[in-house]
Amino acid sequence: MSEETLQTVRDRIRPFPDFPQPGVLFRDISPLLKDPTAFKALIDLLEDHLRASFSKIDFIAGLDSRGFLIGPPLAQRLGIGFVPIRKKGKLPGPTESVSYTLEYGKAELEIQSDAVEQGQKVVVVDDLLATGGTMCAACELLKRLKAEILECLVVIELKSLKGSEKLKSIPFYSLLQYN
């Protein structure tokens, strides 16, 4: 991984103090998304990581909503499909659903029951890992469908919240880490 390329991505992460509530330092990827050079650098870095780590991936599963911004271009680069994991009530047809706790409340995630088949290899993608609740819920849904979760992949990890510890035996990779 080129340190210069990584710095291009890092430079486009904008901190917002006291959002969404006092005491929280929000890491905003909006400047990264609107800069085509930085966004390409991000997808290049994630693609390089996945190609070096796994010989076969069947799907990228992206978490609602920012995983939808990173997952599809990454899947397209890898020549594989993209599977959305959405907030409850947003997907048609039969779904699997799981409730979980967020940093600021409770939520539910869903995946279509036929999104992946037993044994298919999936990488779960989101922009940020904080406490790990959403990522763990997504993994639970994929396990119910009997997918093989190769890795949980995020752009930003908030290390002080120890979310990756909740993933237990599921491999985890973050491009950028903040305390």
Ordered domains of the chain (ranges, CATH): 3-177 (3.40.50.2020)
Residue pair 109/144 in contact by the 8 Å Cβ criterion: no
**Prediction pTM value:** 0.95
| From 66, 86, 110, 151, the catalytic residue | 66
Give the tens place of pLDDT for each residue, 130-151.
999 999 999 999 999 999 999 9
Backbone angles phi, psi at 169, to 5 degrees: -85, 0
Give the tens place of pLDDT for each residue, 2-56.
999 999 999 999 999 999 889 889 999 999 999 999 999 999 999 999 999 999 9
Supply the pLDDT for residue 143. 98
Structure tokens at 61: 């599963």
d(CA 27, CA 16): 6
Is residue 103 part of the annotated active site? The answer reads yes
| From 27, 77, 103, 140, the catalytic residue | 103
Is residue 14 part of the annotated active site? The answer reads no
**Residue from 96, 7, 100 nearest 45 by CA:** 7
CA angle 119, 124, 130 (to 5 degrees): 140
Task: Name the pLDDT band for 103 (thresholds 50, 70, 90).
Answer: low
